[in-house]
Chain A
Amino acid sequence: MDIYEKTIEVINLYKFYEYPIVSKLPGPYQLPSAIVKYFFEKQRRKYITALSNINFTADKHDCLLVLGPNGSGKTTLLKILAGLMLPSKGTVKILGRKLEENLSFIRSKVALISSLTTGCALFDPFISVEQNLSLISELLRIDYNKVLEFIELLEVDEYLSYKFGALSTGTAARVILALNLAKPAEIYLFDEPTEALSPEGRELFKRILLKLKQDQKTVIYATHHPQELADVFNKVLLLINGKIVFNGTIQDFLNEAFKGKDAYIEIEFYKEIKDNILEKIDLPEKDYTGTSLIIYTNILKAHLYLNKLFSHIKVDYIKSVRIIPRSLEEAYLTYIRRR
Chain B
Amino acid sequence: MFEEITLKIKMLLCLIKVIGRRHFVTKYAYFMWVFPFEAIELIVDLFLWFFFMQALGGGTAFRAKYGIDPIAYLITGIVVIRFLNYNVGNIYFILKNLYYSGYITAIQRLSIADYLSLSNISIGFWVLGQIIWDYTRIAIISLLYITVGYIALGTSYSLTLSSFAYALLAFALGIAATIGLGLISASIYLYTGVHRGTEPIQWTMKLLSKIASGLYFPIDVLPETLQYFSLLLPHTYTLKAIREALLLSASTSILVADLCILGIQATVLAPLGYILFTRALFKRIKLGPRL
Q: Which A residues have a C-beta under 8 Å from some C-beta of B?
A: 15-18, 20-22, 27, 29-35, 37-38, 50, 75-76, 79, 82-86, 88, 104, 107-108, 110-112, 114, 117-122, 124, 126-127, 131, 135, 138-142, 183
Contact = CB atoms under 8 A, between A and B. Distances in A.
B225 interface: no
A91 B217 CA distance: 60
Contact of A20 (B119, B195, B200, B290): B290
In the A-B complex, the 7 residue pairs with the smallest Cβ-Cβ separation, listed nearest first, are A30-B197, A118-B109, A34-B194, A34-B192, A31-B197, A140-B119, A121-B101
Q: Which of B189, B193, B194 gathers most chain A CB within 10 Å?
A: B194
Given A31-B189, A122-B112, 17 more contacts: A18-B290, A20-B291, A29-B197, A31-B199, A32-B198, A34-B192, A35-B188, A38-B191, A85-B288, A107-B118, A112-B110, A117-B109, A119-B110, A121-B112, A127-B25, A127-B26, A139-B119
Interface residues of B, number: 42
Nearest to B119: A140
Contacts of A84: 114, 117-118, 285
Given A18-B290, A138-B18, A119 B196 contact: no
A172 B268 CA distance: 48
14 contacts: A18-B290, A21-B193, A27-B197, A29-B197, A30-B196, A38-B191, A85-B285, A85-B288, A118-B108, A119-B110, A124-B26, A139-B18, A140-B121, A141-B121
B273 to A, nearest CB: 17
B26 to A, nearest CB: 5
B287 interface: yes
Nearest to B287: A18
A138 B21 contact: yes
A131 B197 contact: no
B6 interface: no
Nearest to A15: B288
B135 to A, nearest CB: 20
Interface in B154-200: 188-189, 191-200
Nearest to A112: B118
B286 interface: yes
A107 B57 CA distance: 65
Contacts of A37: 192
B288 A122 contact: no
B118 A121 contact: no
B30 to A, nearest CB: 13
Q: Which of A35, A83, A86 gathers most chain B CB within 10 Å?
A: A35
Contacts of A82: 118
Nearest to A116: B109
Given A20-B291, A34-B192, A127-B25, A83 B197 contact: no
A161 to B, nearest CB: 14
A107 B119 contact: yes
B56 interface: no
A296 to B, nearest CB: 38
A17 B285 CA distance: 11
A118 B107 contact: yes
Contacts of A75: 108
A83 B118 CA distance: 7
Contact of A35 (B25, B192, B289): B192
B109 A29 contact: no
B120 interface: yes
Nearest to A142: B119
B22 interface: yes
A68 to B, nearest CB: 16
Nearest to B286: A86
A114 B109 contact: yes
A107 B117 contact: yes
B271 interface: no
Contacts of B22: 135, 139
A32 B185 CA distance: 12
B269 to A, nearest CB: 19
Interface string B260-291: 00000000000000000000000001111111
B218 interface: no
Contacts of A38: 191-192
A114 B288 contact: no
